[in-house]
Amino acid sequence: MRDLAGRLDLCSINTATLGYQTRIGETVDAVARAGFGAICPWRREMEGEDVAAVARRIRDAGLAVSGYCRSTYLPSADRATLDAAVADNRRAVDQAAALGAACFVMVVGSLPKGSRDLPAAWADVEEGTARLLEHAQDAGVRLALEPLHPMYAGDRSCLNTLEQALDLCARIEPEPAGAPWLGTAVDVYHVWWDPKLDAQVDCAGRTGRLFAFHVCDWLVPTRDLLLDRGMMGDGVIDLKRIRGMVEAAGYGGPVEVEVFSAEDWWRRPIPEILAACAERLEAVC
């Protein structure tokens, strides 16, 4: 396993961690100044921005782009809505390409309003991802399916384990000619509890489908399902064990910090958040 001490160049900051306090240009500079090697921006930060100029600023700052967040939800009440979701995701993939992102992160969505039909949601995810994949290949962008913790199965994602995500990859892209274009983002927050994690991470690595690795921590108790993630070291996840698994499976990309923390970290100044990320990455990840 890589030693992260003094190696922030191996680490990335997902901009959600900083609570969107500044425009993307300033955020890029702050992340670079703090010594990190990569950044993972969100689509909302590109609104009203010239994406090519942002890409230049990221490059000039010496940062890599570990990913681009995230997809528009796919499960839809009707065909027109699914078509629109696919089209919207194609535009986002184009932005990911312009930014030079290592992957486009896909949070796939779940039941449309009023629906109880989970198999229909799964089917929309499969169809929508397959349609998007062709465009992603043309654009040169890999798609990283991020399974979310089952507590989000009703709204944010009907893809809830790494096994389920890898099965989907194998169905959509069964025998890639070269390296796969469809893979997974492993986020400790979503998968730490999974008794099959070890085997599935191994499978993801063996099949070349480990595209991203996200860290934060699981707080006990968790007060909010979405916005109460912990800084690494403040919760119950054995971060070193999981990073060990991921790297033993062949992952050599950045370790990306992604902390949604509306009531705590997002209220702090950006330099303080970045300093905490750096310290915890070196100490407990």
Per the CB < 8 A criterion, the answer to whether 215 and 239 are in contact is yes
Tell whether residue 214 is a contact of Zn ion (CB under 5 A): yes
Binding mask 92-121 for Zn ion (x = CB under 5 A): ------------------------------
Least Cβ distance, residue 106 to Zn ion (angstroms): 11
**57 or 70: whose CB is closer to Zn ion?**
70
Q: What residue number has its CB nearest to Zn ion? A: 187
Q: Which stretch binds Zn ion (CB under 5 A): 80-88, 225-233, 254-262, 263-271?
A: 254-262
Least Cβ distance, residue 191 to Zn ion (angstroms): 10
Q: What is the DSSP string of 131-163?
A: HHHHHHHHHT--EEE----GGGTTTTBS--SHH
**187 or 217: whose CB is closer to Zn ion?**
187
Least Cβ distance, residue 263 to Zn ion (angstroms): 19
What is residue 217's DSSP assignment? B
Tell whether residue 256 is a contact of Zn ion (CB under 5 A): no
Phi and psi of 64, rounded to 5°?
Answer: -90, 165
Q: Using CA atoms, how far apart are residues 284 and 8, in angstroms rounded to an integer? A: 14
Beta strands in the chain (DSSP E): 11-14, 38-40, 64-65, 68-69, 104-106, 143-145, 182-187, 210-215, 255-257
Tell whether residue 258 is a contact of Zn ion (CB under 5 A): yes
Binding mask 173-202 for Zn ion (x = CB under 5 A): --------------x---------------
Q: Kindly compute the dihedral angle of the four CA atoms of residues 238, 239, 244, 245, in this order, to the nearest 10 degrees.
A: 70
Residue whose pair of structure tokens reads 């955020």 in the numeric block:
27
Interface with Zn ion by CB under 5 A: which residues? Answer: 187, 214, 258
